[in-house]
Structure 1
Amino acid sequence: MSERSEFRGRPDKRRAITGAARKVFGQVGYTRASVEAIAAEAAVSKRTIYNHFADKEQLFLDVALEGANEVTATIAQIMDRHLRKIVDLEQDLIDFSLDRIAAVTEFPDHFALVRVIEAEANRIPPAILSAWIDAGPQTAHLRLAPYLRRIADRGLLRIDDADTAAAHLTLLTITDINNQTFYGARPLPEDVIEKTVVAGVHAFLRAYRTQGQ
């Protein structure tokens, strides 16, 4: 077995590298991060990193997509828990939005990376940005759209374009809080978060709720 194959067969080494990379990228950004610093944080050699990843660009992409997929899976579970079966539309939308916001705190290292991507967008390779947009939580409204479409089919919402409606709900609730907290870096009091979400859901329902509901 070659040394490269041996290293690739060590998932513990890969996890150490990606964990260290996520931390270093989140702390100093994509441009300033070095493979040397990541190797030191992971307690491995540079050679070990290059046995797993072709270069810093591939490492950053893998780390960003790994985190995005984890967050997306969590958000999908939250959507299904709150929106698959509607009992009280207004309260269900509020509870969904609050849980979706709370999920940000479960992935602090990933959302540090999100802040890096937004701050350094013009210095990050376009291929990474494109892959990130396709997989990232920023497109979660596209996965929210089918739920809103099914709610509309029950006669509870009046929707022509489910993607647009999902984007509006996201902007009125989750995006507002994420912008204020810088993705959890500067927490807000729970009552402020709830007040913002409730107001956002009310605005969404004024625009989309079926008359008489």
Structure 2
Amino acid sequence: MGGVADQGGTTAQPPRGRVAKRQAITTAARAVFGRDGYTRAGIEVIAAEAGVSTRTIYNHFDGKERLFAAVIEESSVQVAGALVRLIDDHLDPVAGAAGLEPALVALARAWAAVPRTEFAAHFAVVRQLQAEATHLPPALLEVWNDAGPRRTEAALARHLRALDGRGIVAVDDPVLAADHYLLLTLGALDARSDGGATPLGDAESARVITAGVRAFLGGYLPRPAP
């Protein structure tokens, strides 16, 4: 929420109490949405967890849909920022084909650990969102995709395009190639761990990721000229 311009033309910050209440509401809402899902979550429950009245929530967000949109957008932007930094840190140093496989394996392993970090509450909401996708307003899915997955996909595609330009991979469609990498690594982990409900051990995770990266490279390494 933006500040209000004062008579001198500068921007005055909103009262700290209002900022604190908004933060309390979004933090509580993230926990409730992650636990109960969008459909079952009640404004009254969120208000109780935030220590505010339901009227205060409506004053800030005008209803559950806007509150959910604010919650998922805010944390998706934060997570996307962290993932883009991971992508840059692992793929920027790749200078040749020899360094590509270990970089892609290390990236997927680091990426897989993100849901267990300070972003655990966000990924709990995402799991609920995906489970309820067919029952959610389409606008909420767009908010999530625009703020999070599409940003990280675009960052990964940008690196794959650069690697293609240096002859390290052969990629016609960088966005599709980014999807293939994620499906073969993180997607395989997700399938084998029942969506994270039964996490794999480190050795098994490394085996699954390495196999996925090698399958990816089997499709995207340059072919020798006939």
In 1: Cα distance, 2:62 partner to 2:220 partner: 49
In 2: Cα distance, 1:138 partner to 1:171 partner: 15
In 2: Cα distance, 1:175 partner to 1:139 partner: 18
Structure 1 unaligned residues grouped into runs of 5+: none
Tell me the residue number matched to 1:45: 53
Local SS of the residue matching 1:122: helix
In 1: Cα distance, 2:199 partner to 2:151 partner: 23
Tell me the residue number matched to 2:40: 32
Q: RMSD of the TM alignment (CA)?
A: 2.0
The structure 2 residue matched to 1:102, chosen from 107, 113, 118, is: 113
Contact 1:108–1:184 (8 Å) recurs in 2: no
Contact 1:26–1:116 (8 Å) recurs in 2: yes
Relative to structure 1, the CA distance from residue 33 to residue 42 in structure 2 (aligned partners, 3 Å threshold; closer, same or farther) is: same
TM-score normalized by structure 1?
A: 0.90
Q: Is 1:62 aligned to residue 70 of structure 2?
A: yes
Q: Across the two proteins, how many residue pairs are aligned to each other?
A: 208
Contact 1:8–1:52 (8 Å) recurs in 2: no
In 2: Cα distance, 1:168 partner to 1:102 partner: 19
What letter corresponds to residue 46 of structure 1 in structure 2? T
The structure 1 residue matched to 2:166, chosen from 154, 162, 170, is: 154
Structure 2 unaligned residues grouped into runs of 5+: 1-12
Q: Is 1:117 aligned to residue 133 of structure 2?
A: no
In 2: Cα distance, 1:111 partner to 1:179 partner: 16
In 1: Cα distance, 2:63 partner to 2:136 partner: 14
Q: Is 1:164 aligned to residue 176 of structure 2?
A: yes
Q: Is 1:91 aligned to residue 99 of structure 2?
A: no
Tell me the residue number matched to 1:191: 203
The one-character-per-residue Cα deviations of 1:128-170 (angstroms, maximum 9, x if unpaired) are: 1122222223663232101011111111111111111111111
The one-character-per-residue Cα deviations of 1:167-204 (angstroms, maximum 9, x if unpaired) are: 11111001221343355443211111100000001111
In 1: Cα distance, 2:26 partner to 2:168 partner: 44
The one-character-per-residue Cα deviations of 1:37-73 (angstroms, maximum 9, x if unpaired) are: 0000111111221221110110011101111111100
Contact 1:71–1:137 (8 Å) recurs in 2: no
Once structures 1 and 2 are overlaid, which stretch shifts more, 5-14 or 63-72?
Answer: 5-14
In 1: Cα distance, 2:50 partner to 2:15 partner: 14
What letter corresponds to residue 22 of structure 1 in structure 2? R
In 2: Cα distance, 1:68 partner to 1:180 partner: 25
The 4+ residue runs of structure 1 with deviation greater than 6 A are 5-8
